[in-house]
Amino acid sequence: MNDFDGNDRKKKWAKSDWLNIKRIKRRINYKLFVLVILSGSFVLTCTGQNATLDSLKGLLVNEKVDTNKISLLLKISSLSVTVDPLQAISSAAEAKELSEKTGDLRGIAYAYKYDGGAKYYQGNYVEAMDSWNRAMKILKQIDDKEGIASIQNNIGIVYLNQGNDTKALEHLFEFLRNAELTGNQTLIGKAYNNIGAAYQHKFINYDKALKYYFKALPIYQKINDNYTFGAVCGNIGEIYLDQKNADSAIYYFKKEVEVCKGTADLAYALYDIGRVFESKGNNDSALYFQQNAYDTAQKYSSKLFMVSALKEVASIYLKKGELKSALQKYHEAEGLAQEIESSYDLKDVYMGLARTYSGLRDYPKAFKYQSLLLDIKDSIYNKETDQKLARFEFDFEIEKKQSEINLLEKTKQLQELDLKRQKFAKNAFIVGFGLIMIIAFIIYRNYRDKVRVNKILDSQKLQIEQLLRNILPDEVAQELQTNGTATPKFYESVSVLFTDFKGFTRIADHLSPQEVVSELNTCFVAFDDIIEKYGLEKIKTIGDSYMCAGGIPVEKENHVFNMVRAGMEIQEYITRRNSSRVELGLEPWNIRVGVHVGPIVAGVVGKKKYAYDIWGSTVNIASRMESNGEPGRVNVSNAIYELIKSEYECTYRGKISAKNIGEIDMYFVEREVVKESFLIDPSAKTYTNTSGYAGV
């Protein structure tokens, strides 16, 4: 079969290591990962890429040899991953079919690989991971280390995007290990760069980030990859700027400028240098570089870079007290940010406009932009909440997919065992009556095998039923087994609890993966026991977050009190555990707990991969209660407070604003109220009040 993995640079075929963190542009209040599709050895313009695709499709029409058709189909699929994912999936499927027909394992593996890439760019991460895992299995079988390395990189980037940073680093280090085995300098450089980026922007460990960036730099110099060399210099400069090491930051930003000349990236390099001068208090020089950054971005019609530069120019004018100039630049930035729909930029602009108008004593307009700032902050919060819930779903789907694969493998084993039994029975029948003793022995052995197989089948059936009951509540699982479907239900009153460990990422950065998982497992098992004690229903966990509900699937009158008791008991458990950790010289793990009650819809989603979940504003408000709480406290909404105030002493905390709902009061639950009683003093003929309070 022809080499479709792109060793011939003149043909410019892409090696399939698409997902490479080339540069992480850090803006004022957030960071953004930029994923690049093409490998360092393959860069085509959009027009050139389309022309190449048309040429390949023309060759495919007239090609008769299967091996050549497989090569062409895989090249078309690789080139189409970003520009036409549906074409990439279709070509990969056709290549896979031909490869299976000819027994070409390498063709099957790369068909799965490109199929996964296309599905990634469709946003279908679970199916992408499934295709990549299938490719990985075959690549290991044929010992294709470069292919294995690039798949590990791609899976690592997906885990980074989904917030599972520990899992991501596991795959990125596997990427590095396999890249080093191949000796491929391009792959090794990418591995160093991606690991450095993960440490810089996910784990905030600058020492480790610099370690891997400095390993990547000489490799990119050696292979003359100026674009990535400049990107790594920019990342190093970002770290030194954060560490207030202005001289080192300037040094690497200037290197970035040298390799970015003639490209749109020059704008951001100049922007970086302007930020260094601003940090040193040299506003005139900062203004000079930011204006140059804006002019360069405008030259290349790079509106994102234009907004960043305008914001900095306006900020410098504001610091210098030139309010009218600041106002003009902020309004220019506002128009561009609205045009490209950049919420984070608009947040910065609205804050700057509110301060500028306040400085000009134009308070009505200052109030207007302050209101816009609050609205967009709420919008950003909702987006981040959606992303967090999406991560819940991603992890759940991956776990379900693995369970499904395991179940299919067990079923296949049973089928193979059953086929062997049938073959044996047929052969025994053919032996004939002349071998009665042998037939009798064979019949006995068949009977014994049948009993054993039936026991295995019964055991597997019980395992499947138990797996279903572990995933779904008993009542829902029973309904699903009986009817084949589970009807969604509306509940008028359901209490929802969220927990989250404070500073989890920082704590986890100083622990091994085994220590992190062990501590989370210990805590979550304890939480499971607590909610089971109070008749509550666990919904799901992701990372360091835990979610449960009361009053479903069976409605219970006292679910609110049970939920509050469970929240208090969780805090008590964490307090005891932290005491033990402190005695051992370990850092405590503090936790926030938030509770809300209200209507929700609950049901089972999925056809083959079932998931029991709940929906409604009640869930979002419970999450807000947790995120606005404090470690060691149970933070509840006004709806909870009104139901428990006769039984619990609570402290009022103020209000938070929820979109489409309005302001919500919050309370800390302090302790359970001991019912009032009176003792009679016969001699004094008076009553003594013995009311008081006791902890839960």
Residue 443 identity: I
Q: Is residue 428 situated within a structural domain?
A: yes
Q: Within a domain: residue 66?
A: no
The CA distances from residue 241 to 34, 228, 311, 556, in Å, are 20, 20, 18, 56
Contact 546, 499 (CB under 8 A): yes
Q: Is residue 653 part of a domain?
A: yes
Residue with tokens 């450095």: 196
Q: If DSSP states are collapsed to H, E and C, what string results for 21-69?
A: EEEEEECCCCEEEEEECCCCCCCCCHHHHHHHHHHHHHHHHHCCCHHHH
Query: Which residue among 471, 492, 510 closes a domain?
Result: 471
> What CA–CA distance (Å, rounded) separates 360 from 349?
16
Q: For residues 496 and 611, state if they share a domain.
A: yes
What is residue 25's three-state secondary structure?
strand
Q: Annotate 362-410 with DSSP letters as a single string.
A: -HHHHHHHHHHHHHHHHHHHHHHHHHHHHHHHHHHHHHHHHHHHHHHHH
Contact 139, 103 (CB under 8 A): no
* Residue type at position 283: N
Tokens of 499: 């927990």
Considering the domain architecture, whether residues 493 and 640 belong to the same structural domain is answered as: yes
Beta strands in 502-628 (DSSP E): 537-542, 545-550, 591-605, 611-615
Position 202 scores a pLDDT of: 66
CB atoms within 10 A of CB 655: 12
Residue 565 within any structural domain of the chain: yes
Q: Is 313 exposed, middle or buried (0-12, 13-18, 19+ CB in 10 A)?
A: buried
Q: Is residue 662 part of a domain?
A: yes
Q: Determine the structural domain holding residue 629 and report its residue range.
A: 474-667
In three-state secondary structure terms, 646 is coil
Based on the number of CB atoms within 10 Å of its own CB, is 550 exposed (0-12), middle (13-18) or buried (19 or more)? Answer: buried
| C-alpha to C-alpha distance for 316 and 286, rounded to whole angstroms | 8
Identify whether the C-beta of residue 575 lies closer than 8 Å to the C-beta of residue 590: no
**CA 103 and chain centroid, separation:** 37
Number of domains in the chain: 2
Question: Is residue 56 a contact partner of residue 299, using CB atoms and an 8 Å limit?
Answer: no
Q: Which CATH number characterizes residue 478's domain?
A: 3.30.70.1230
294: number of Cβ within 10 Å: 25
Query: Same domain, yes or no, for 481 and 625?
Result: yes
Paired sense of beta strands 634-637 and 591-605, if any: parallel
Question: What was the pLDDT predicted at 160?
Answer: 79
What are the backbone angles phi and psi of residue 223, rounded to the nearest 5°? -95, 5
Q: How many whole angstroms separate alpha carbon 36 and alpha carbon 121?
A: 11
* DSSP three-state, residue 671: strand
The strand pair at 662-674 and 634-637 is best described as antiparallel
The whole-model pTM stands at 0.47
* CA atoms of 688 and 677, how far apart (whole Å): 9
User: Rounded to an integer, what distance in angstroms lies between the CA atom of residue 488 and that of residue 480?
Assistant: 12
What is the maximum alpha-carbon separation in the chain?
Answer: 115
What number of CA atoms fall less than 13 Å from residue 87's CA on the CB side? 16
Q: d(Cα 157, Cα 441) in Å, to the nearest integer?
A: 59
Closest CA to 369 of 411, 326, 419: 326
Do 446 and 483 share a domain, yes or no?
A: no
What pLDDT shows up at residue 389?
Answer: 42
Q: Is residue 503 domain-shared with residue 429, that is, in the same domain?
A: no
Alpha carbons within 13 angstroms on the beta-carbon side of residue 692 total 4
Report the pLDDT value the prediction gives residue 465, as an integer from 0 to 100: 65
Q: Could you tell me if 655 and 545 lie in one domain? A: yes
Q: Are residues 432 and 565 in the same domain?
A: no
Residue tagged 């020089």 (tokens): 285
Flag whether 595 is in a domain: yes
Q: Return the pLDDT at 21.
A: 45
| Contact present, 213 and 246 (Cβ < 8 Å) | no
CB of 665 closer than 8 Å to CB of 647: no
CB count in 10 Å sphere of residue 692: 10
Q: What is the pLDDT at residue 690?
A: 39
**Nearest CA-CA partner of 530 in 674, 651, 634, 400:** 634
List the chain residues with pLDDT less than 70. 1-50, 202-203, 380-414, 416-418, 428, 458, 461, 464-471, 484, 675-696
Task: List the helix and strand counts (H, then E) for the chain.
Answer: 24, 13
Given phi > 0 = left and psi -120 to 50 = alpha, else beta, which region is 6?
left
Task: Say if CB 127 and CB 85 are below 8 A apart.
Answer: no
Judge if 611 and 552 occupy the same domain: yes
Query: Read out DSSP for 136-202?
Result: HHHHHHTT-HHHHHHHHHHHHHHHHHTT-HHHHHHHHHHHHHHHHHHT-HHHHHHHHHHHHHHHHHT
CA–CA dist 579, 194 (Å, integer): 38
Do the domain assignments include residue 212?
no
The reply to whether 312 falls in a domain is: no
Do residue 600 and residue 550 come from a single domain?
yes
**How far is C-alpha 119 from the chain's CA centre?**
16
My answer on whether 611 and 647 are in the same domain is yes
Query: Which residue reads 């998931």 in tokens?
Result: 611
Q: Report the alpha-carbon distance of residue 325 to residue 308 in Å, rounded.
A: 16
Q: Are residues 525 and 442 in the same domain?
A: no
How far is Cα 56 from Cα 75, in angstroms, rounded to an integer?
8
Residue 351 near residue 373, CB atoms below 8 Å: yes
**CB count in 10 Å sphere of residue 466:** 11
Q: Domain check: are 479 and 431 in the same one? A: no
Q: Give me 40's structure tokens.
A: 């360092």
Query: DSSP H helical segments within 558-660, as ranges?
Result: 559-583, 617-627, 638-644
Determine the pLDDT at residue 401: 56
Q: Shortest CA distance to 355 belongs to which of 369, 372, 337, 334? A: 369
